Amino acid sequence: MKKFLSGSLILILGTLLMSALNYVYNLFINRALTPADFATYTALLGAVAILNVPVGTVQTVAARYSADYQAEGSHPHLKALLSTLTRRLAPIGLLIFALFLLFPHAIGAFFNAADDPALKGAVVVIGSMFLYQLLVPINRGILQGRQQFAGLSFNMVADSFARILFGLVLLVPLTGLGINQAIAGVLGHTLKISHPGTVAAALGAIVAGTLVAYLLSFWPLRDLARAKFEAVKLDGAAIIKYAWPTMVMFIFMSLLMNVDIILVKKFSMMGTGLTPDNAGEYATLSTLAKLVFYVTGPVVTVMFPMIAERLKQGVKHYKLLLTTLVAVMLSSVVILGIFAAAPAAIVGLLTPDYVHVSQYLVPMTVIFLVYGLVNVMTNYFLALKDYSFLIPLGVMSVMEIVLITLFHGSLVQVIQMVIVTQTTLLMLQIFIYLIGKREQLSLLMKTSYGDTID
């Protein structure tokens, strides 16, 4: 368990540092760009968000199979996995980039980006990110599967740190000022960068940062490059078979995390109980409560390859599952306690505009406490290649939409529907787990109470 605890701590610290650096960059961009440019910047970033599900799928598949090969000590298979996935996915990224290069105005209009002279350049810049956006999760997945958590954590932080550096390099010259004057002006709300290339520069920093992270990810994998070449055949059919349910899982989990915000926004515009202000309040509370997921998510990232490794080696893994559940629960309860002690102060740190709804922060946090436990069970089943969890996951994802559609008279009612849905899902997942362990449980009961029964 020492490696589990140390790996979890390393990834949690890395994730928090990455989030802090991303916040700094987003704050700088928000203050540096004009409202119109920031709207275009945000809209074009939506193009990258489309790949969240495929990216998660690729990393999980790479992590799952690299965990198997690592358990076998097979460097040739690991090397083949890296090269095969790269060869298969690189052409897809090239094709997407070609579309951005050939149809910049149509793509910009699709993402509601303003049709200005600088649009073409900005679209091409963000399109270039697709050249390696599907390649980054391959390397990170293999780092995860090999349990190289320090290398994975460093890579994520390097990505965020590099975008800040490139942001300064690309944006400061557009101001015509020195770096100290430009930073002071932007952060002091006295300077907005009005230049045709501002949006492209802001997006270019993200593209460059991710490219740096991709190149750096090869360093902890350098032993694979040095490994002696051996012709090995990967089971491509099995990998594809695993990829499909993994993608479905990511779609349903994304729905569970985000559909409530989308529906609250939708119903707030229809005057059916919720107001436009409620949509902003709900989104703010959800943003704060997601801290629970950002802290507990890395714990699950560590658990996943360890479960796969134990399965491959024929070692029991229920203790690791239990340890993960306890770690996620305790971490969530600590954050919940902090939020409960001073909800108004916590909300005020993000924005003073919504302090009046701070009493809903604790129940909103409960949502992500339960979601964190659901995430543990989902990844546990996925590591075992047991897809029975997909049925209740899909049903409850749809049920959440149905319940919020029927009951959305207030923020409290929406929060209640989400808690009911996700708690039910968690209970169903635990039930599936216990059903799968019924023989072991029966044997345990006979061993414990056999003398009394007889």
CA–CA separation, 414 and 336 (whole Å)? 19
Q: Which of these, 320, 322, 343, 340, lies nearest to 332 by C-alpha position? A: 340
Task: Give φ, ψ of 33 to 5 degrees.
Answer: -85, 150
Longest dimension (CA), the chain: 89
Pull the structure tokens for residue 291: 């801290």
CA–CA separation, 56 and 35 (whole Å)? 32
- For residues 109 and 185, the answer to whether their CB atoms sit within 8 Å is no
CA–CA separation, 126 and 110 (whole Å)? 14
Please state at what angle helix 291-313 crosses helix 136-145, rounded to 10 degrees: 60
- For residues 263 and 401, the answer to whether their CB atoms sit within 8 Å is yes
> What is the per-residue pLDDT for 364?
94
Token match 């963000």: residue? 126
Distances (CA, A) of 360 to 331, 357, 392, 415: 20, 6, 28, 9
Per-residue pLDDT 10s for the chain (454 aa) are 788 889 889 999 999 999 889 888 988 888 888 877 887 787 788 777 777 888 899 999 999 999 999 988 888 889 999 999 999 999 999 999 999 888 888 877 776 555 565 678 888 898 898 898 899 999 999 999 999 999 999 999 999 999 999 999 999 998 888 888 888 888 887 888 888 889 899 999 999 999 999 999 999 999 888 877 677 788 888 999 999 999 999 999 988 888 888 888 888 888 777 888 888 888 888 888 888 988 899 999 999 999 999 998 888 888 899 999 999 999 999 999 999 999 999 888 767 778 888 899 999 999 999 999 999 999 999 999 999 999 999 999 999 999 999 998 889 999 999 999 999 999 999 999 988 877 766 665 666 555 443 3
> What is the per-residue pLDDT for 159?
95
CA–CA separation, 260 and 401 (whole Å)? 7
Q: How many residues belong to the chain?
A: 454
Pull the structure tokens for residue 375: 């995430």
CA–CA separation, 158 and 22 (whole Å)? 11
Residue 126's CB is within 10 A of a number of other CB atoms, namely: 28
Task: Give the ranges where 290-317 is alpha helix by DSSP (H).
Answer: 291-313
- Measured over the CA atoms of residue 383, residue 388, residue 392 and residue 395, the dihedral's sign is positive
> What is the per-residue pLDDT for 318?
86
Residues with Cβ within 8 Å of 392's Cβ and at least 6 positions away in sequence, in order, are 425, 428, 429, 432
> What is the per-residue pLDDT for 436?
82
- For residues 421 and 348, the answer to whether their CB atoms sit within 8 Å is no
Distances (CA, A) of 386 to 242, 312, 383, 390: 10, 14, 8, 9
Helix-strand-coil split of the chain, %, nearest 5: 85, 0, 15
Q: Which of these, 382, 379, 365, 381, lies nearest to 422 by C-alpha position? A: 365
Q: Which of these, 368, 185, 181, lies nearest to 285 by C-alpha position? A: 368
> What is the per-residue pLDDT for 113?
58
> What is the per-residue pLDDT for 116?
60
Element holding 381 (H helix, E strand):
helix 361-383
- For residues 429 and 392, the answer to whether their CB atoms sit within 8 Å is yes
Residue 131's CB is within 10 A of a number of other CB atoms, namely: 17
- Under DSSP, the state recorded for 21 is H
